[in-house]
């Protein structure tokens, strides 16, 4: 697309799952698409999202001043999401999240669980604890509690293992036994990148790992930070797209949404400009 001059073979460009627009790659892509659309009247650009600020993009892609790009709305089939909060501050949000998973497994109706955590180490540790407790629970009370399987999901996981999230929940041990349940423990890649059939319950501690630039040592670090309101809403929506009964169970301080930034905080302006220059030069060199 960088080398397009107006006579290229690209006829359609589709950009899906946009719900926030402050990433560097997306910013560059939108600029390239708009520039190309001015020179290619035959090019069709389709942008799809369930949570998009449509008017902003209509104005941006209007080819002349004061015009808006066409908007096509499709009615969705989302369902209401009930939100429950813990009553007190939890000193260990991972342990609190695991307790919530087992509260759901013991007391709630059938349906799989999606638990959001921040990274590979945290996810693998949580999965290990969930598996041990699930085995103990079945051994102690197999007549009233069904089997539970825990599946990790993060970007560095091999593709074959990532596909396990689409496996069905375990079957009951006997026809009269309680149904099994699947628990997917994921980073924020499960916010928008995929849809997992069967998810009815979402446990959201409200944290993710985000890049933070330290000007003193001039390096970026991945730090565990509170998510934005947009991310919280997106996570809640993971429970509202498949079944009629939905429950989201965030952890404690999500109760006070006023403390959230609406969107993720932007990066340092000077650092972002340097990254932008590097990315554009890299694209030109390639």
Q: pLDDT-based confidence at 51, cuts 50/70/90?
A: low
Q: Are residues 8 and 34 in the same domain?
A: yes
Residue 151, domain member (yes or no): yes
Query: Could you report the per-residue pLDDT of 136-155, keeping only the tens digit for each?
Result: 988 888 778 899 999 999 99
β-bridge pairing 219-226 and 207-214: antiparallel
Q: Are residues 110 and 201 in the same domain?
A: yes
Residue 86, domain member (yes or no): yes
Q: Are residues 62 and 165 in the same domain?
A: no
Residue 62, domain member (yes or no): yes
β-bridge pairing 12-15 and 247-250: unpaired
pTM flag (> 0.75): no
Q: Which of 134, 157, 155 is nearest to 145 (CA)?
A: 134
Q: Calculate the CA 167 to chain-centre distance.
A: 19
Query: Could you report the per-residue pLDDT of 234-269, keeping only the tens digit for each?
Result: 887 776 544 433 344 444 444 444 444 544 555 555
Q: Are residues 116 and 208 in the same domain?
A: yes
The Cα–Cα gap between 36 and 282 comes to: 19
Indicate the length of the chain as a whole number.
286
Q: Which of 241, 240, 230, 206 is nearest to 85 (CA)?
A: 206
Q: Are residues 116 and 244 in the same domain?
A: yes
Q: Which of 238, 105, 245 is nearest to 181 (CA)?
A: 105
The whole-chain average pLDDT of the chain stands at: 78
Q: Calculate the CA 77 to chain-centre distance.
A: 19
Q: How many domains does the chain have?
A: 2
Tell me what pLDDT residue 115 has.
94
Q: Are residues 68 and 193 in the same domain?
A: no
Task: Among 76, 92, 109, identify where a domain stops.
Answer: 76
- Residue 6's domain spans which residues? 1-76
Q: Are residues 232 and 250 in the same domain?
A: yes
Count the helix, strand and coil residues of the chain and give each as a percent rounded to the nearest 5: 35, 20, 45
Which CATH number belongs to the domain containing residue 228 in this structure? 3.40.50.300
Residue 277, domain member (yes or no): no
Query: Could you report the per-residue pLDDT of 76-124, keeping only the tens digit for each?
Result: 666 677 777 777 777 899 999 999 999 999 988 899 999 999 999 999 9
Give the containing element (helix H, strand E) for 237: helix 229-237
- Average of per-residue pLDDT across 23-51: 80
């Amino acid at each position: 697309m960088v080398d397009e001059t107006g006579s290229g073979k690209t006829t359609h460009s589709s950009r899906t799952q946009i719900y926030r627009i402050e990433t560097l790659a997306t910013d560059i892509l939108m600029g390239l698409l708009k520039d190309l659309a001015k020179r290619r009247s035959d090019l069709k650009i389709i942008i799809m999202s369930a949570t998009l600020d449509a008017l902003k993009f209509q104005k941006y892609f209007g080819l002349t001043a004061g015009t808006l790009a066409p908007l096509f709305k499709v009615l969705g089939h989302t369902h209401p999401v009930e939100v429950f909060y813990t009553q007190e501050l939890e000193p260990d949000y991972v342990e609190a999240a695991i307790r919530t998973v087992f509260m759901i497994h013991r007391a709630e109706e059938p349906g799989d669980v999606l638990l959001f955590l921040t990274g590979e180490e945290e996810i693998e540790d949580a999965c290990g604890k969930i598996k041990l407790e699930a085995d103990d629970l079945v051994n102690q009370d197999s007549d009233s509690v069904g089997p539970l399987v825990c599946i990790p999901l993060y970007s560095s996981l091999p593709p074959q293992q990532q596909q396990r999230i689409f496996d069905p929940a375990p079957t009951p041990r006997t026809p009269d036994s309680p149904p099994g349940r699947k628990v997917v423990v994921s980073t924020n890649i499960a916010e928008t990148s995929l849809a997992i059939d069967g998810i009815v319950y979402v446990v959201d501690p409200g944290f993710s790992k985000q890049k933070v630039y330290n000007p003193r040592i001039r390096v970026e670090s991945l730090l565990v930070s509170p998510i934005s309101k947009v991310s919280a809403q997106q996570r809640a929506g993971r429970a509202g797209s498949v079944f009629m009964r939905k429950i989201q169970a965030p952890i404690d301080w999500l109760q006070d949404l006023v403390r959230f930034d609406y969107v993720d905080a932007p990066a340092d302006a000077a650092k972002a400009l340097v990254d932008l220059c590097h990315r554009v030069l890299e694209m030109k060199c390639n």
